[in-house]
Structure 1
Amino acid sequence: MTDTIGLLHPGSMGSAFGAQLRARGHVVLWCPDGRSDTTRRRAQRAGLEPKTLPELISRSDVLLSLCPTAAAEETAAQVAELGTAGVGTIYVEANAVSPARVQRIADHLAPMPVIDAAVVGSPPVGGKYPTLYLSGSSQQAERIAELFVGTDVRPQVLGDSIGKASALKLAYSSYQKVSRVLAAVAYGAAATYGVADELLEIAAKRTRSYLVETDYIPKTAARAWRWGPELEDAAALLADSGLPDSLMHAAAATLARWDDNRDERLDVAGALEALRAQGDPDNPS
């Protein structure tokens, strides 16, 4: 069965998902209004069909939201405001947002059904196989899972409660992404005192420690503008669970020091210099 999927809005992950769906014979639409040339090229390479937003919404059986975390609710609000979705259209909220935000989105879009989704892993290109976790109405979640049968995206249904997929994603992110931040800060401190090589020697005794992956520090800097809002939502998850959220807020504040380096190609020294440059000159720590 061929479905029409409206993709909101295809970045590197979204365009890769779109290409996988296209390879399975589905029609994938996207809206180029206000999007960058880079996004346009990605969409063209993936074989996505450009439409206006009202056309995209009215023609889609499934609306798949894969956008930066900070834009998740605004994107859903645009869909709700237009109100042109067909009967039975399913909205898949696949961004890294807190369970509370997913519920707000579901409430705002009602009566349109919403499936809570989360992507764990890299974009499905070059032999990579991310997992798409789904939670919400079991019948609708299974329908979304069926879209990806035979693709490099591995769907897994977690249950019928909205919030499970988002909680899993942010629980993982709260470790994985903060570990990257801590590695950058620790390496920077060691480099300041001339003991970076010794730190790496210690770290190398542990298998696949993030501290060994110093080449990831510039990648962390370039992605900080996306990771910061996600960690704020991870903080909301922890707070809702009665757990301390200060580390998540602190990590987001650290990432904000790289806001001016969005998608830049820095080396390790340049990324650390940018991190220091945003600090208090009277308190370099």
Structure 2
Amino acid sequence: MAKPIVGILHPGSMGAAVAAQAATHAATVLWCRAGRSERTVARATRFGLEPVPTAAELLDRADIVISLCPPAAAEDVAREAGTHGFEGLYVEANAISPERMERIVGLLPEALVLDGAVTGTPPSGGEAPTLYLSGLAPAAAVVEKLFAGTDVTTKVLGTEVGQASALKLAYAGLRKTSQVMGALSLGMAQEHGVGPELIALASRLTGSPLAEPGRIADTAARAWRWGPELEEAADLAAAAGLPDDLLRAAARTLARWNDNKDDDSLSTEEALRRLRRS
């Protein structure tokens, strides 16, 4: 059986790394450079992805399309693929609610849509994220084969579209709100000169977000992505009849760092300063 052609929409830090793993069993991995930043171009080049000038060409050539983009853009990306008439396997791997996942299925009437969710860090240096899948078993089997023996582990949750999305958002709510609370707690302690004492206390707790205070700056750099994920998680909670206030408050807190998008030079002190109201 011929190797599939894979297209990635769009190669961010996670998308590019996951796409590079797919290249193990793919004929080639395509990406569209139209409208992408120089940083994205450099990243895609580093991972050996094949550039195409337009999304239309990518959709024409690809047998499998993987969508890994900011959650707010997921429906627009799917709509473009559906309008183009994409007929292949579409892996919707963004952090979105099950309700949005269902809407995306409707936007792609000619495609076979698989629900996906990536947890963990981008695959590099021995890191092995997990790609959870839910949907029709034959489609899941294709993706399992695509990543077999790579640094991306796959796990099928079931045949119901929305299961992978629900797991991702539930996990994001747990992990990312803890990072927000860690930043707020350290900011309060430092205001009264007891920051080191708080870190010492918190370090005794298993999995404490303050075990590594430097992660506060990492959270600030990723807040532009994390905030929308928590809004999606809040929608999931509300749909389940659960309070959504905590998740929405965490999303609003993260929004204060939106101007620090992917700024890896930010210090913990500067991140906390920007978190405070002026």
- TM surpasses 0.5: yes
Deviation at 1:208, TM superposition (A): 3.4
Q: Is the 8 A contact 2:26 2:146 kept in 1?
A: no
Q: Distance in 1 between matches of 2:19 and 2:258?
A: 28
Structure 1, 102-111 or 157-166: larger mean CA deviation: 102-111
Matched residue, 1:16: 17
What is the SS of the residue equivalent to 1:212?
coil
Q: Is the 8 A contact 1:10 1:43 kept in 2?
A: yes
What is the SS of the residue equivalent to 1:125?
coil
Matched residue, 1:123: 122
Deviation at 1:25, TM superposition (A): 4.4
Deviation at 1:225, TM superposition (A): 0.7
Q: Is the 8 A contact 1:14 1:67 kept in 2?
A: yes
Q: Is the 8 A contact 1:8 1:66 kept in 2?
A: yes
Structure 1, 205-214 or 29-38: larger mean CA deviation: 205-214
RMSD: 1.1
Q: Distance in 1 between matches of 2:171 and 2:253?
A: 19
Deviation at 1:23, TM superposition (A): 3.0
State the 4+ residue runs in structure 1 displaced beyond 4 angstroms.
none
What is the SS of the residue equivalent to 1:210?
coil
Q: Is the 8 A contact 1:24 1:151 kept in 2?
A: no
- 5+ unaligned residues in a row in structure 2: which ranges? none
| Cα shift readout 1:96-135 (whole Å, capped 9, x = no counterpart) | 1111111110011113121000001111110001110000
Q: Distance in 1 between matches of 2:112 and 2:23?
A: 23
Matched residue, 1:163: 162
Q: Is the 8 A contact 2:68 2:94 kept in 1?
A: yes
Q: Distance in 2 between matches of 1:90 and 1:226?
A: 25
Sequence identity, in percent?
52
Is structure 2 residue 191 aligned with structure 1 residue 192?
Answer: yes
Q: Distance in 1 between matches of 2:78 and 2:26?
A: 26
Q: Distance in 1 between matches of 2:79 and 2:140?
A: 22
- 5+ unaligned residues in a row in structure 1: which ranges? none
Matched residue, 1:32: 33
Q: Distance in 2 between matches of 1:149 and 1:26?
A: 15
How many residues get paired? Answer: 275
Matched residue, 1:237: 236
